């Protein structure tokens, strides 16, 4: 089983590179053939990536969450997978390059530095932990996609205000659609993050004797959850639309990134598995 | 092929002359019998706001086209019109021009979508008046096919090329579903009307019209099934609309910065699109400083129009390729007009020999044997003539070398002493042609 895992480890960055190139080419040139085939290439890549992650889980007898670079691979998968679902639901195909780029970067980093971890702490073999981490990662993927659409919204907004009618104007969907994509991604991210928090609250006190509700990672995640919760609620109540929604999503994303950096580097946490 | 034609269009004459010479449907119907009587055996008259053109097969083989121009000027006298205002076309050039017109690359606005329908309509008038034969029908069928291919296979008709349509294109970049939006068109002149019609075509949810003269507002509102906002209450109603398009002839701003600021407040800052397509402008351009206000005027919309026109120009070589492609097909068909009578005469010649010989033995063999011999000779003839028939048609249909087609036809005629066969395309019968193909397959 190691042979196919190693082969896929090399193949995946190449495939993501191909998907990114196809989406980027289509963004600039709008060719019918590329427009139809890029989704197929993305599907094949995701299928192989899923096979790779399952293979690792079976081969090493633990979910691939035991090192930063295993996590990176899951992030790469979850970003592209979330985008794929969004593209299928909305049939808006012009924005893929901006999202797939993130998957490409994460997968390259993962493939370069990933190691075969046969021996890991027993806690990392727990299925609930796997579910908790995957939900959290998919949630963060959702808010990342939301932020990308937010940035695209701001770009188009500025182009329209400045009477610039170039590539951005011609190839991006309308402001309203970008706002919807950003909002829906944020909602999906928020729901998954909620699930991760609930699983965490139930399972963490049993798994870690030194568990504390004042753990910096827990507090950081909770604040991110609160920021998105307020934004989503206000939008649903009708107080928020247009640029305000986008600005809120971007603030939420910056807050999430800052929280991750601070809690992973500065604070002391029980919540570190590797 | 002796197709000839004349054309006065936007490249050769000013608008006043083109307008004055324009023939409406009734005038064309009256004019065609005159052409039929004096000049053409068959023909077509195309007349739009940008061109008047006459094409046809002359009764006599004369390449002086002045009589056609004179006939037109006599029918519709126009001051200042001269022979120099007309382009003249012969044979292949005439076919190419008709194909170019139908595909929109000869239009004033390249890729104009209306011209194809106008060409089709013009040909239908000729057909109704029994002024169109097989060759002309084939030319116009191919022209219409060329136009359709140009639209389908290239981007010649894509993008907004009028300011009114560009305004709608920008609106679509801001709002996704226009059926849930409300729009107000201020001014019911030509530009305002066009904008209102474009919005209606895009299924705008609610459309209202406002104009200083109530009568004109009512007329436009009726046309686009819209509501009316009385001009004196205009400023109090602005907050009710997501899209405001203004195209009046007012000398001063009719909507100020303050009007929009207060309207936006009442809208709770919900985005609003303002399209000022009036010259001089109707809306204070400072409104673009307000967040969630998208303001565009003529200058900015002209950028889109120019970009799209350039994109259409870039598509012209692709359309020209389609035209060449269709011309090759057309001339291939035309060449078969010469070949088909030869094939028919050759087959008749052999059929006569077979019948003669069968007649000679009819009484010398039994009835059963005669039927067998008749069947055998028929099949034998079919096999003997199959290859020459197919080859000759292939030569003709590829249309690559007319001389080669003529040489083969000539050899065939001389070898079998087939004599003269009619070569006039006008006498060609499409049904017989089809029958030949069926026979050949059998």
Residue of chain B whose alpha carbon sits nearest to that of A240: B270
pLDDT tens, position by position, B11-56? 999 888 898 899 999 999 999 999 999 899 999 999 988 899 999 9
Query: What is the CATH architecture of B163-304?
Result: 3-Layer(aba) Sandwich (3.40)
Predicted pLDDT at B402: 60
- Cα–Cα nearest to B48, from B128, B104, B129: B104
Q: Do residue A163 and residue B300 have CB atoms under 8 angstroms apart?
A: yes
| Whole-Å CA distances, B131 to B56, B134, B137, B181 | 9, 10, 10, 51
- B4-159 and B163-304: identical CATH topology: no
Q: Do residue A177 and residue B172 have CB atoms under 8 angstroms apart?
A: no
Strands of B87-90's sheet in order across: B40-47, B51-58, B4-9, B87-90
pLDDT tens, position by position, A209-264? 777 777 777 888 888 899 899 989 988 887 677 788 888 889 889 988 888 777 76
Judged against a pLDDT cut of 80, whether residue A125 lies above it is answered with no
Query: Considering only residues 61 to 120 of chain A, which have any Cβ-Cβ distance to chain B shorter than 8 Å?
Result: none
Determine the average pLDDT of the residues in B128-153: 93
| Whole-Å CA distances, B137 to A17, B1, B34 | 54, 14, 20
Nearest C-alpha of chain A: how many angstroms from B189?
A: 26
Q: Report chain B residues whose CB lies below 8 A from the CB of A172.
A: 173
Q: Report chain B residues whose CB lies below 8 A from the CB of A178.
A: none
Nearest C-alpha of chain B: how many angstroms from A160?
A: 7
Domain segments of chain B: what residues?
Answer: 4-159, 163-304, 329-441
- Is the minimum CB–CB distance between A177 and chain B shorter than 8 Å? yes
Residue of chain B whose alpha carbon sits nearest to that of A165: B304
Q: Point out the residue among B174, B291, B304 whose CB comes nearest to the CB of A175.
A: B174
Q: Report chain B residues whose CB lies below 8 A from the CB of A174.
A: 172-176
Predicted pLDDT at A266: 64
Judged against a pLDDT cut of 50, whether residue B432 lies above it is answered with no
Judged against a pLDDT cut of 50, whether residue B439 lies above it is answered with no
Q: Do residue A174 and residue B173 have CB atoms under 8 angstroms apart?
A: yes
- Hey, of A153, A156, A163, A184, which one would you mutate to test binding to chain B, going by the most B CBs within 10 A of its CB? A163
Q: Report chain A residues whose CB lies below 8 A from the CB of B161.
A: none
Q: Which of A241-245, B171-175, B299-303, B381-385 has the lowest mean pLDDT?
A: A241-245
Q: Do residue B288 and residue A161 have CB atoms under 8 angstroms apart?
A: yes
Angle at B183 between CA B180 and CA B189, to 5 degrees: 150
- Is the minimum CB–CB distance between A160 and chain B shorter than 8 Å? yes
pLDDT tens, position by position, A163-220? 888 888 888 999 999 998 999 999 999 999 999 999 888 887 877 777 777 777 788 8
Q: Point out the residue among B174, B291, B304 whose CB comes nearest to the CB of A174.
A: B174
Specify whether the CB–CB gap between B407 and B392 falls below 8 A. Answer: no
pLDDT tens, position by position, B372-428? 999 999 999 999 989 888 887 777 666 556 667 777 778 888 888 876 544 333 444
pLDDT band at A267 (very low <50, low <70, confident <90, very high): low
Q: Point out the residue among B176, B292, B300 whose CB comes nearest to the CB of A242.
A: B292
Predicted pLDDT at B401: 60
According to CATH, the topology of domain B4-159 is Beta Polymerase; domain 2 (3.30.460)
- Is the minimum CB–CB distance between A175 and chain B shorter than 8 Å? yes
Residue of chain B whose alpha carbon sits nearest to that of A170: B173
- Is the minimum CB–CB distance between A131 and chain B shorter than 8 Å? no
Q: Do residue A156 and residue B175 have CB atoms under 8 angstroms apart?
A: no
pLDDT tens, position by position, B105-137? 999 889 988 899 999 999 999 999 999 988 899
Residue of chain B whose alpha carbon sits nearest to that of A32: B153
Nearest C-alpha of chain B: how many angstroms from A240?
A: 9
Specify whether the CB–CB gap between B322 and B150 falls below 8 A. Answer: yes
Distance, in Å, from the CA atom of B199 to the CA atom of A271, rounded to the nearest integer, reads 57
Q: Report chain A residues whose CB lies below 8 A from the CB of B170.
A: 160
For residue B365, say if its preceding peptide bond is cis, omega within 30 degrees of 0: no
pLDDT tens, position by position, A38-47? 999 999 999 9
Q: Do residue B174 and residue A242 have CB atoms under 8 angstroms apart?
A: no
Any catalytic annotation for residue B92? no
Secondary structure class of A15 (helix, strand, coil): helix
pLDDT tens, position by position, B220-239? 999 999 999 999 999 999 99
Angle at B304 between CA B298 and CA B308, to 5 degrees: 135
Predicted pLDDT at B236: 92
Determine the average pLDDT of the residues in A102-121: 88
Which residues of B lie closer than 8 Å to A, measured between beta carbons?
170, 172-177, 269-271, 288, 291-292, 294, 296, 299-300, 303-304, 307
Determine the average pLDDT of the residues in B145-169: 89
pLDDT band at B152 (very low <50, low <70, confident <90, very high): very high
Catalytic residue among B49, B324, B353, B390: B49
Nearest C-alpha of chain B: how many angstroms from A249?
A: 18
Nearest C-alpha of chain B: how many angstroms from A173?
A: 7
Q: Do residue B271 and residue A169 have CB atoms under 8 angstroms apart?
A: no
Nearest C-alpha of chain A: how many angstroms from B296?
A: 7
Judged against a pLDDT cut of 50, whether residue A99 lies above it is answered with yes
Judged against a pLDDT cut of 90, whether residue B187 lies above it is answered with yes
Determine the average pLDDT of the residues in A110-117: 88
- Is the minimum CB–CB distance between A237 and chain B shorter than 8 Å? no
pLDDT tens, position by position, A19-70? 999 999 988 887 777 777 899 999 999 999 999 999 998 988 888 888 888 8
Residue of chain A whose alpha carbon sits nearest to that of B290: A161
Kind of pairing, strands B272-276 and B243-246?
A: parallel
Mean pLDDT score across all residues of chain B:
87
Q: Do residue B176 and residue A243 have CB atoms under 8 angstroms apart?
A: no
Q: Do residue B176 and residue A180 have CB atoms under 8 angstroms apart?
A: yes
Q: Report chain B residues whose CB lies below 8 A from the CB of A160.
A: 170, 173-174, 294
- Is the minimum CB–CB distance between A241 and chain B shorter than 8 Å? yes
Determine the average pLDDT of the residues in A79-87: 90
Judged against a pLDDT cut of 60, whether residue B441 lies above it is answered with no
Distance, in Å, from the CA atom of A181 to the CA atom of A249, rounded to the nearest integer, reads 11
Distance, in Å, from the CA atom of B44 to the CA atom of B57, rounded to the nearest integer, reads 10
Specify whether the CB–CB gap between B156 and B316 falls below 8 A. Answer: yes
Specify whether the CB–CB gap between A120 and A66 falls below 8 A. Answer: yes
Q: Do residue A156 and residue B304 have CB atoms under 8 angstroms apart?
A: no
What is the percent of chain A with per-residue pLDDT over 70, rounded to a whole number? 96
Q: Do residue A165 and residue B307 have CB atoms under 8 angstroms apart?
A: yes
Q: Which residues contact B60 (CB under 8 A, 6 or more apart)?
A: none
pLDDT band at B433 (very low <50, low <70, confident <90, very high): very low
Judged against a pLDDT cut of 70, whether residue A274 lies above it is answered with no
End-to-end CA distance of chain A: 24
Residue of chain B whose alpha carbon sits nearest to that of A241: B270
Residue contacts between A and B (CB atoms, under 8 Å) = 41
Q: Which residues contact A210 (CB under 8 A, 6 or more apart)?
A: A270
Domain segments of chain A: what residues?
Answer: 1-120, 123-274
Q: Report chain B residues whose CB lies below 8 A from the CB of A156.
A: 173
């Amino acid at each position: 089983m190691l042979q196919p895992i190693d082969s896929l480890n090399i193949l995946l960055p190449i495939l993501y590179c191909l998907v990114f190139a196809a989406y980027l080419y289509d963004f600039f040139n709008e060719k019918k053939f590329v427009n139809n085939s890029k989704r197929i290439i993305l599907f094949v890549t995701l299928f192989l990536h899923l096979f790779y992650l399952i293979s690792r889980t079976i081969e090493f007898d633990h979910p691939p969450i035991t090192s930063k670079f295993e996590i990176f691979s899951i992030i790469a998968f979850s970003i592209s997978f979330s985008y794929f679902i969004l593209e299928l639901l909305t049939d808006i195909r012009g924005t893929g390059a901006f999202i797939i780029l993130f998957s490409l970067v994460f997968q390259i980093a993962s493939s370069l530095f990933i190691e075969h971890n046969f021996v890991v702490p027993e806690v990392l073999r727990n299925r609930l932990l796997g579910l908790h981490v995957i939900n959290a990662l998919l949630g963060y993927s959702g808010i990342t996609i939301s932020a990308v659409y937010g940035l695209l919204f701001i770009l188009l907004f500025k182009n329209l205000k400045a009477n610039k009618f170039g590539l951005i104007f011609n190839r991006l969907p309308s402001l309203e659609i970008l706002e919807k994509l950003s909002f829906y991604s944020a909602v999906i991210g928020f729901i998954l993050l909620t699930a991760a928090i609930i699983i965490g609250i139930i399972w963490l006190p049993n798994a870690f004797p030194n568990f504390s509700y004042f753990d910096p990672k827990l507090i950081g995640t909770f604040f991110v959850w609160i920021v998105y919760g307020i934004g989503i609620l206000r939008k649903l109540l009708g107080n928020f639309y247009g640029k305000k929604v986008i600005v809120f999503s971007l603030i939420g994303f910056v807050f999430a990134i800052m929280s991750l950096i601070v809690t992973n580097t500065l604070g002391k946490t029980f919540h570190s598995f590797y | 092929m002796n197709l000839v034609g004349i054309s006065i269009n936007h490249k050769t004459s000013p608008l006043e002359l083109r307008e004055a010479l324009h023939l409406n449907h009734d005038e064309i119907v009256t004019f065609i019998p005159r052409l039929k009587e004096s000049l053409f055996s068959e023909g077509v008259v195309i007349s739009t706001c940008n061109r008047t053109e006459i094409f046809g097969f002359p009764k006599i083989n004369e390449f002086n086209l002045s009589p056609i121009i004179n006939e037109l000027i006599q029918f519709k006298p126009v001051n200042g019109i001269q022979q120099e205002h007309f382009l003249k076309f012969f044979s292949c050039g005439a076919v190419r021009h008709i194909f170019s017109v139908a595909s929109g690359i000869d239009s004033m606005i390249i890729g104009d979508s209306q011209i194809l329908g106008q060409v089709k309509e013009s040909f239908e008038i000729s057909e109704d008046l029994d002024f169109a034969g097989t060759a002309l029908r084939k030319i116009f069928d191919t022209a219409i096919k060329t136009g359709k291919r140009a639209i389908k296979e290239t981007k010649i008709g894509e993008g907004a090329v009028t300011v009114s349509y560009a305004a709608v294109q920008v609106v679509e970049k801001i709002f996704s579903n226009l059926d849930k939006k409300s729009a107000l068109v201020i001014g019911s002149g030509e530009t305002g009307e066009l904008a209102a019609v474009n919005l209606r075509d895009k299924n705008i949810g609610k459309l209202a019209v406002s104009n200083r003269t109530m009568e004109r507002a009512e007329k436009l509102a009726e046309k686009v099934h819209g509501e009316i906002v009385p001009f004196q209450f205009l400023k109090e109603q602005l907050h009710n609309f997501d899209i405001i398009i203004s195209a009046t002839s007012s000398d001063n701003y009719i909507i100020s910065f303050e009007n929009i600021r207060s309207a936006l407040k009442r809208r709770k800052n919900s985005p609003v699109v303002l399209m000022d397509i009036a010259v001089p402008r109707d809306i204070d351009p400072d409104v673009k400083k307000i967040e969630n206000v998208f303001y565009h005027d003529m200058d900015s919309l002209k950028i889109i129009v120019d970009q799209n026109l350039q994109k259409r120009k870039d598509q012209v070589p692709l359309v020209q390729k389609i035209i060449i492609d269709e011309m090759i097909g057309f001339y291939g068909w035309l060449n078969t007009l010469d070949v088909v009578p030869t094939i028919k005469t050759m087959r008749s010649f052999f059929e006569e020999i077979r019948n003669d010989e069968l007649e000679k033995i009819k009484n010398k063999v039994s009835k059963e044997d005669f039927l067998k011999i008749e069947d055998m000779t028929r099949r034998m003839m079919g096999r003997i003539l199959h290859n020459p028939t197919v080859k000759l048609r292939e030569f003709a249909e590829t249309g690559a070398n007319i001389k080669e087609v003529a040489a083969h036809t000539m050899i065939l005629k001389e070898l079998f002493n087939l004599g003269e066969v009619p070569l006039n395309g006008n006498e060609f019968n499409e049904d017989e042609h089809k029958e030949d193909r069926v026979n050949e397959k059998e």
